[in-house]
Structure 1
Amino acid sequence: MGLGSLEGGFQWPGQRLVVVTDREIQGRQRRRRRGGVHGTAGATGRQGARIASYQDLQVGDYVVHATHGIGRYLGVRSETILGVTRDYLVIQYEGSDRLKIPTEQVDQIQKYIGAEGHEPRLNRLGGGEWAKVKSRVKESIREMAAELLRLAALRETLPGTAFPPDTPWQREFEDAFPYEETPDQLTAIAEIKADMEKARPMDRLLLGDVGYGKTEVALRAAFKAATAGKQVAILVPTTILAQQHYATCKSRMEGFPINLAVLNRFKSPKEQAEIIRGLADGTIDVVIGTHRLLSDDVKFKDLGLLIVDEEQRFGVAHKERIKQLRANVDVLTLSATPIPRTLHMAMVGLRDMSIITTPPEDRYPVETFVAEYDDALVQDAIGRELSRGGQVFYVHNRIQTLDDVAARLHRLVPEARIAVAHGQMSEDRLEKIVLDFMDGEYDVLVATTIIENGIDMPQVNTIIVEDADHLGLSQLYQLRGRVGRSNRLAYAYFLYRRDKVLTEASEKRLRAIKDFTELGSGFKIAMRDLEIRGAGNILGPEQHGFIVSVGFDLYCQLLEEAVRELKGEPAPEPEIQPNIELQVDAFISDQYVPDARQKIDAYKRIIAIRSMADVEDVADELVDRFGSLPDPVKNLLDIARLRVHCNRLGITSIAQMRDRVTVKFLPSAARDVPFDRLALLNRRPEFRGRIETPRTRGGTSFTVKVGGLDARSLLRTLLLLLEQLHAEVAQTAAR
């Protein structure tokens, strides 16, 4: 007996049985992902990197401490104090001032992001200067927050379309999706539909890596709008992407009464005129197009939803026209690496944001190389891809010399069939070359960055980019996203001219594209782009100055606080930060994790632990990446477990003084602790009279005698005791 799927139906005359598949009934087939429920990775699946911190600290980086101000990060140092070894982050301030921050407080510092080329002045430890700067910025931010709230309130009053709930057609359309949705896709779809069903216009950013399923989410929104009688415009930056989206829409919406059209320069003047008439009289429901859709002669009878794919690819004039279009319609913007302004607006709540971070099943990160140009390297890269039956993109972003590059590649790899493509070709010729390449008639496509957006060619798994230092970080990331779209390992080569001295910004871009190779790096790339280019004149010159003075992260934090205060919302309850001071070695040695950035990342993961399951996840990951846990790392994880218990029980500190450990509670939490039960625990052999309970009623602490226990035994004893105490508190509450 087994569970599986059938390609088609069959007859079994002997049993008088006919089996009919859903494809034969509905004309569509739904393929299920292998692995867990709702697309979660199974035993062999790969879970992509979640959006974690993009702030990978390197020695020499500027950082911001909320209390002490701007300093320079000098690295992680191990120090032994009173026989106990711990790791500390060392921050240099003005003069010879240095601050040592315990690694458990790593979340108190943020990487400084200001303006490109701007080096902030270091603050002096203990001076009042930083407090004055923060006060000035807070006052200005408060004024701006009031204006933002006024604009937000105005937006809430704008008339929009309240789309009806899902119909049976919607469910049938979604059931025909040939893959199992990832959890992130389902969440994004639910958020978008909820926005569409409200009476105010939607303005949502859908952020997801290349190939992570943003298109399907957008198609479901488009279908919902079209079946409710509204027109949908899908705006894309290139003609090739328009053709590809059109093919996808046509395939997905086939069999439903929705009239589709594509408007771009591949269409003849006569065809364009017919489509424009159809938009004006309402006979076209969904149109996919390039900036041609933004022309003055294009009018919609009843536009209800505008979907903008990769907004950063449109020019200033186009964006102004998009603003006019979006006044009273729902807007969904799709992006893998949004421009800093868009990302900032989403981060501070001016735009709603949905994020897709779960990668497709069996997707591998792209192997990324940054190097000087070398004929032998190019020859080897192309030859290796051809030997496994694949194809290659070769990007050279100067039309005048594309043919020379193709000739050079032909000399290097004579057996390769090479085609050339660029945006100044006639529409028919460009379309034919791209389609022939997709059909496998060429091995190498030498092209400009016209291939940057959206072309989905799973058989192309090597990309070589010449003069990569001339391109922006988001462009480099988009280009790399053209490969690795199948379950085959892909390669990206970003090359610069031999012996060329790179600018600082170019060097940072190339280092970032090499650093962020794991699945799900789009958000990190966007944030690093923000760092390299600077926060920019996002909210006017005055605010730009304030961003420079306190750093982008703290600026956003202060803005969120100001908005909350003006709305009259209570500040969130501060999380208990229990102080745990035990005389045990608890650190990650250089021998265990040699890379400083990986070590910081591991500490951040440990600090972020909120449950026992989180501890096991982090422990499993450390073992998987670095090997068996040394005792100091085991101690570190046990201290994380103690913190989980502290948060459950309302414990503020666990402090060791010689052979005694004092456990202190919040006064409110102490009332719920059955201290009398501790006396009973004292009789158990594992504690052997180690517990000293309060001698007076209303006590808020107790003491544990730990004489004779080594570090591992001490931690085990405390963990067992708090576990028992948690059970006692739960039983008392149940009575």
Structure 2
Amino acid sequence: MFKNKYNKYQNLIYEIFEQFQISDQSICLITKNNQESIYIYNGLKYFFDEDSLKLFPETEVLPYDHFSSPERIIQNRFQIINEAYSSKNILITSIKNIFERYPEIEYFKSFETFKLGHKISVFNLVKVIESLDYVKKTNVEVINDYAVRGGIVDIFSPMYENPLRIEIFDDTIESIRFFDSETQLSIENIDKFFLSKGSLFSLNEQKILTFISRWRNYFINDDERYCDIFQKIKNGNIPEGIEIYLPLLFKNTVNFFELFNHHDIYSSLNLFHEIDIYDEFIKQRFNDENIDHKRPLLKPDKLYIEKDELQQILKNVKNINIKEINLQPENFDDLINLINKNSFKENLLIVTSFADQIEELCKKIHHKTQIISDFSEHNNGISLMYGEPVTPFFDERNNTYIFHKEVIDKDYSFTSSVKKDDMNIIKNNDFSLFKENDYVIHENYGLGIYSGLETVDANNTSNEYIKIIYADNENLYVPLSNINKITSYHKKNIDKGIALDSLSSTKWKQKKDRAIKRSIDHAAEILDIESRRQKSSSFSLRIDDKSLQEFNDEFPFTETHDQVVSFNSIQKDLSLIKPMNRVLCGDVGFGKTEVAMRAAYISAFSGKQVVLIVPSTILCDQHFNSFVKRFMNFPVSIKKLNRHTTLKNKKEIINDFNNHKIDILITTHIIFNNEVEFQQTGLLIIDEEHKFGIKQKNFIKDKQSNIHILYLSATPIPRTMNMVYAGLKDFSFLQTPPSNRLNIKSFLKTHTSQLLKEALVREKSRNGQCFIVQNDINKMENLKNEINQLLPEFRIGIAHGKLKKADIQKVMSSFHAGNLDGLICTTIVEMGLDIPNANTMIVINSQNFGLAQLHQLRGRVGRSERQGYCYYLVPNMDIPKLSKDRLASVIKNSKLGEGFLIAQEDLEIRGGGEMLGDKQSGHVENVGMSLYLSMLKSALDNTQESTTINDIEINFYDSAYIDNNYLPSAIERLKIYRKINKIKSSADLIDIKNNLIDRCGKMPPETKNIIENKKLEIIARSIGIKSIKSNKLNTSFLITSDFSESKFDKLISLVKSDPQKFAIDQENKFIYKLNELESITRRQKVTDFLNALL
């Protein structure tokens, strides 16, 4: 049998399985690193259920790091330590973990258990929570948070994957449920919960005093006044990188084996050798980092377990003597050759991380194969299945070899891509929400300062108002029903000072009137531009559902809800003769390309051509490969055209396209010429639309005005956003991130060699890769030399647009295959590259990049289940304010799916002139962007003869507000008021009502009144009623011209039949003489009355 001297695959997984079977104790297996731990863990899942397996994760930070471990790591560790003694198990850990110091095991254990029916008040439960050092927040989003709203207590314990919501009534726990930290909505009921400490580093007074005392005893000669971390901890704040002072925060610490003292220790390594290596690495890191007097470091023997102590503990470790497996292929192709030559008779299971490759792999094997979904389905012969990466092993029980394709190919660029149910994450972002002391514009009174919410008592009722301060400290109290009249105000040079408007002056009215006049002219200009296109008839693109379903079924993942909704909208657009004009917005990796492919499928199978335009040659190549692979089983001709296409091939491709021999053409700016004919083009897709100018985007549209157009972007440009706001472009939004993706940690840092080295080492230590963006091509070689001097073994390549096609392809292929640790590149990497193993992005001179570029670059990393890091480096912090604003914005909006928020910030930072053109810039600055857009929308509606009733007044002269005891956070109340104000349907109102009850508990009467008022407003709007005013004697209805003749006849009949109860006055108001003191009863009677009119 052929043996590969480089691989020497050992049958470790099966040996561990056998050892566990005969052992009475739990087993702790020590591995070389986290990746080996994961591979072994995945392999053992073929023999055990996951309850019997514990993978103790590494922290993903370096010794003496400036950053903290991702919270999911802390969460996993808490759970494992708590579960480790519950039953016999296999614990898998690495060399790195056994060097760490830990708090004593009691710190991790659950302190309290609570069940349904447990007698406890909210006050006492909060006392327990605070005794465990949880931190009070408005909303619970991360571990160690808790929040209280009336009888509801939310808490995120590291013991659980999701936060808990406990509902207490009459000092009894009535409900316990998990909720989604993104949507804040409940997802699952449970009957009991456990509480442990919320975090390793939650701070209380005693812990802070312990830290201060130990710090001063250890760092006798260091001035604590200049140490940022010391000052933060002293003031009760948890800084990044607090882990380097862990021994100073706890009275006692223990080693790893004291945490798991019931486990027998096993390893197949030369442990003493591996311990020597990591011990040297810790010392090297200490020497590298111990250069900043403002960040003094504990010596290695204080922060870590000493080498001698570890060797003493491990002298009785049980070594696993492992045999090599007989089959040792060099790579996957070698394995296929051995199979096809009948070189062995054993059974074989081939596993791959790419579900869409399985059928192709079957075709390479010249023997009967079966595709299975679970190891238990494997019998004799050769089977293939989708699965996570695993080290090759031999299962002696059923004479079967298990090989994972990407592992034996050493293709580390793959990532697990498990099909999961849609998480349906809905982020209810309010882009124009304002905070206290923000500048705001009131539609009728102008520019003031928002001063918060204030409850005002008058006429035996209480209501909450928005307080705005104007010039000369004049105050305006705005009813919450008029919240739609208030918009946030942003100005490009806001730091130069702003003059507030005066409530006693007419200057605001003059500015507003000029802006309204300009918005009307602007609306006419926009409509004139688009009307020509809208009047033309496009191709109606339709195919039968069965054909489309066949294509959709080949998608190897589960579509998210957003993808389905967006595609359904696009499919409907394509079926109409009105040309589609739609923007599909979604962050990188959220599935825009798949939606575009389905649209292309419809066009191609409707007999019409598709043109996909991308801004770079690299992205063109990548899209071409993706499309060819996706359409592999369908009769579709796909070609690419870019600057690397030879002149001969270019002429041939253009000729074939003009003669309709090409169904889908993927191309770059090269398409903008007069040689290409678009008469049979049904669909134009523009990817990364923010990279193209107006003339370029209009080039094909001008030649073929009736073409369907789909724009793809993570950060739409201001002009596109303007068209969306104006209603002239349709908009679809992909908000749901891929399964298991983590938010990327983003940092603004001063560029130093030590920081660069640290970032590169951190990524390399977890077998990952790095992008280093240097946009100055002339400085790339110097940067490469600097990195080579810092890290001689770090494999680095260079890529930029001026290289030859073959050179770019060579370096990109090498990087994609994992043969390079880092890639120095220009912003060519910004667009569409997908390398899941690259999870660190370093942007040199980030102050010179635009906001969309900064976001797009960050999107190139964190595309797998690993934590992604993005470093925005600047030469120093003395950079222009506009650059500071951009960088602050991109760091603030760092959650998954926030590309659209980046676009919003772009509008505000750039100012109105860049968005709407010079003609509008002055008017936008005078009235604010939000109000100007509202004026523009109103002007467009009026031009298009919209008859929507805008303001409807509902007043029952009673209290109608959200009590601060029910929802304590003023900003959260403001969000709810805004949502209620924007609602147009009863179904949406029911959702808000249910969400409020879920989050805050049973509604008090005054909050119910808001919901009931809105319900009446929705009905009133639908039938043409402008206002409803109800006191204890009469209820009046102001009727508009939209009120139908048949309904008016009903009112006349009521007046005639019962004039003592009904009347119509001279102001065209219908009077309902209820003579009812209780407003709750009046509301119900008015609701019943209006429903009878419907």
**TM-score using structure 2 length:** 0.53
Deviation sequence 1:548-578 (CA, Å, 0-9, x none): 2222221221222222223333223645555
* Residue 459 of structure 1: how far off its partner (Å): 1.4
**In the alignment, residue 1073 of structure 2 is paired with which amino acid?**
G
In 2, the alpha carbon distance for the partners of 1:663 and 1:179 equals 63
Seen in structure 2, the aligned counterparts of structure 1 residues 76 and 275 have a Cα distance that, compared at 3 Å, is same
Asked whether the 8 Å contact 1:311–1:333 carries over to 2, the reply is yes
2:1078 maps to which residue?
703
1:644 maps to which residue?
1011
Select 1:339's aligned residue among 705, 713, 717.
717
1:710 maps to which residue?
none
* Residue 128 of structure 1: how far off its partner (Å): 2.7
Deviation sequence 1:429-469 (CA, Å, 0-9, x none): 11111111111011111111110110011211121112111
* Residue 162 of structure 1: how far off its partner (Å): 1.9
Larger radius of gyration: 2
Asked whether the 8 Å contact 1:654–1:662 carries over to 2, the reply is no
1:521 maps to which residue?
898
2:764 maps to which residue?
386
- 1:127-276 alignment to 2 at 5 Å? 127-166=505-544, 168-276=546-654
Show structure 2 runs of 5+ residues with no match. Answer: 1-354, 359-369, 387-416, 1021-1026, 1040-1049, 1052-1070
Seen in structure 2, the aligned counterparts of structure 1 residues 573 and 559 have a Cα distance that, compared at 3 Å, is closer
In 1, the alpha carbon distance for the partners of 2:1090 and 2:1036 equals 20
Deviation sequence 1:605-658 (CA, Å, 0-9, x none): 67668545424435656xxxxxxx7xxxx7987643332233346799999xxx
1:683 maps to which residue?
none
Seen in structure 2, the aligned counterparts of structure 1 residues 543 and 579 have a Cα distance that, compared at 3 Å, is farther
* Residue 600 of structure 1: how far off its partner (Å): 5.5
Query: Is 1:534 the equivalent of 2:911?
Result: yes
1:358 maps to which residue?
736
In 2, the alpha carbon distance for the partners of 1:443 and 1:557 equals 50
* Residue 728 of structure 1: how far off its partner (Å): 11
Asked whether the 8 Å contact 1:49–1:518 carries over to 2, the reply is no
2:488 maps to which residue?
111
* Residue 259 of structure 1: how far off its partner (Å): 0.7
**In the alignment, residue 571 of structure 1 is paired with which amino acid?**
T
In 2, the alpha carbon distance for the partners of 1:108 and 1:219 equals 42
Seen in structure 2, the aligned counterparts of structure 1 residues 85 and 442 have a Cα distance that, compared at 3 Å, is farther
Asked whether the 8 Å contact 2:701–2:707 carries over to 1, the reply is no
Seen in structure 2, the aligned counterparts of structure 1 residues 616 and 376 have a Cα distance that, compared at 3 Å, is farther
Seen in structure 2, the aligned counterparts of structure 1 residues 730 and 600 have a Cα distance that, compared at 3 Å, is closer
Asked whether the 8 Å contact 1:337–1:474 carries over to 2, the reply is yes
Deviation sequence 1:219-250 (CA, Å, 0-9, x none): 11111111122211100001111111111111
Asked whether the 8 Å contact 1:607–1:640 carries over to 2, the reply is no
Bigger relative contact order (CA 8 A; separation at least 6): 1
* Residue 731 of structure 1: how far off its partner (Å): 14
2:452 maps to which residue?
76
Select 2:845's aligned residue among 462, 467, 482.
467
Query: Is 1:277 the equivalent of 2:651?
Result: no
In 2, the alpha carbon distance for the partners of 1:77 and 1:194 equals 44
Asked whether the 8 Å contact 1:419–1:446 carries over to 2, the reply is yes
- Bigger shift: residues 388-397 or 466-475: 388-397
* Residue 533 of structure 1: how far off its partner (Å): 0.7
- 1:585-734 alignment to 2 at 5 Å? 586-587=963-964, 601=975, 604=978, 611-618=989-996, 639-648=1006-1015, 698-699=1073-1074, 701-703=1076-1078
In 1, the alpha carbon distance for the partners of 2:966 and 2:884 equals 30
In 1, the alpha carbon distance for the partners of 2:960 and 2:717 equals 48
- 1:58-73 alignment to 2 at 5 Å? 61-73=438-450
In 2, the alpha carbon distance for the partners of 1:10 and 1:114 equals 60
In 2, the alpha carbon distance for the partners of 1:412 and 1:539 equals 48
In 2, the alpha carbon distance for the partners of 1:371 and 1:365 equals 19
SS in 2 for 1:207: strand
Seen in structure 2, the aligned counterparts of structure 1 residues 374 and 608 have a Cα distance that, compared at 3 Å, is farther
Asked whether the 8 Å contact 2:678–2:700 carries over to 1, the reply is no
SS in 2 for 1:210: coil
**In the alignment, residue 946 of structure 2 is paired with which amino acid?**
E
1:560 maps to which residue?
937
* Residue 475 of structure 1: how far off its partner (Å): 0.6
Deviation sequence 1:483-535 (CA, Å, 0-9, x none): 1222222121212112x422121111111111112222121111110111112
* Residue 255 of structure 1: how far off its partner (Å): 1.9
In 2, the alpha carbon distance for the partners of 1:327 and 1:111 equals 38
Moved over 6 A (4+): 20-23, 77-88, 596-599, 606-609, 634-638, 650-655, 661-664, 730-734
**In the alignment, residue 646 of structure 1 is paired with which amino acid?**
N
Deviation sequence 1:641-695 (CA, Å, 0-9, x none): 332233346799999xxxxx979966599x99xxxxxxxxxxxxxxxxxxxxxxx
Asked whether the 8 Å contact 1:266–1:428 carries over to 2, the reply is no
Show structure 1 runs of 5+ residues with no match. Answer: 24-30, 42-46, 622-628, 656-660, 673-695, 705-717
- 1:572-587 alignment to 2 at 5 Å? 572=949, 574=951, 582=959, 586-587=963-964
**In the alignment, residue 644 of structure 1 is paired with which amino acid?**
I
In 1, the alpha carbon distance for the partners of 2:1086 and 2:916 equals 53
1:327 maps to which residue?
705
Seen in structure 2, the aligned counterparts of structure 1 residues 727 and 555 have a Cα distance that, compared at 3 Å, is closer
**In the alignment, residue 76 of structure 1 is paired with which amino acid?**
G
Query: Is 1:503 the equivalent of 2:870?
Result: no
Asked whether the 8 Å contact 1:259–1:283 carries over to 2, the reply is yes
In 2, the alpha carbon distance for the partners of 1:701 and 1:422 equals 78
Asked whether the 8 Å contact 2:679–2:704 carries over to 1, the reply is no
Asked whether the 8 Å contact 1:665–1:701 carries over to 2, the reply is no
In 2, the alpha carbon distance for the partners of 1:603 and 1:299 equals 53
Asked whether the 8 Å contact 2:1033–2:1074 carries over to 1, the reply is no
1:27 maps to which residue?
none
In 2, the alpha carbon distance for the partners of 1:405 and 1:619 equals 57
Seen in structure 2, the aligned counterparts of structure 1 residues 56 and 386 have a Cα distance that, compared at 3 Å, is farther
In 2, the alpha carbon distance for the partners of 1:573 and 1:292 equals 48
SS in 2 for 1:163: coil
Asked whether the 8 Å contact 1:305–1:330 carries over to 2, the reply is yes
**In the alignment, residue 408 of structure 1 is paired with which amino acid?**
E
Seen in structure 2, the aligned counterparts of structure 1 residues 666 and 305 have a Cα distance that, compared at 3 Å, is same
In 2, the alpha carbon distance for the partners of 1:404 and 1:241 equals 27
Asked whether the 8 Å contact 1:390–1:443 carries over to 2, the reply is yes
* Residue 149 of structure 1: how far off its partner (Å): 3.8
- Bigger shift: residues 337-346 or 414-423: 414-423
Asked whether the 8 Å contact 2:461–2:958 carries over to 1, the reply is no
Select 2:727's aligned residue among 349, 372, 379.
349
In 1, the alpha carbon distance for the partners of 2:680 and 2:484 equals 49
In 2, the alpha carbon distance for the partners of 1:608 and 1:376 equals 51
SS in 2 for 1:702: coil
Seen in structure 2, the aligned counterparts of structure 1 residues 92 and 403 have a Cα distance that, compared at 3 Å, is farther
**In the alignment, residue 566 of structure 1 is paired with which amino acid?**
T
* Residue 80 of structure 1: how far off its partner (Å): 8.4
RMSD: 4.1
In 2, the alpha carbon distance for the partners of 1:290 and 1:583 equals 57
| Percent of residue pairs bearing the same amino acid type | 31
* Residue 100 of structure 1: how far off its partner (Å): 4.7
In 1, the alpha carbon distance for the partners of 2:989 and 2:869 equals 38
In 1, the alpha carbon distance for the partners of 2:768 and 2:461 equals 56
Asked whether the 8 Å contact 1:233–1:286 carries over to 2, the reply is yes
* Residue 266 of structure 1: how far off its partner (Å): 3.0
2:196 maps to which residue?
none
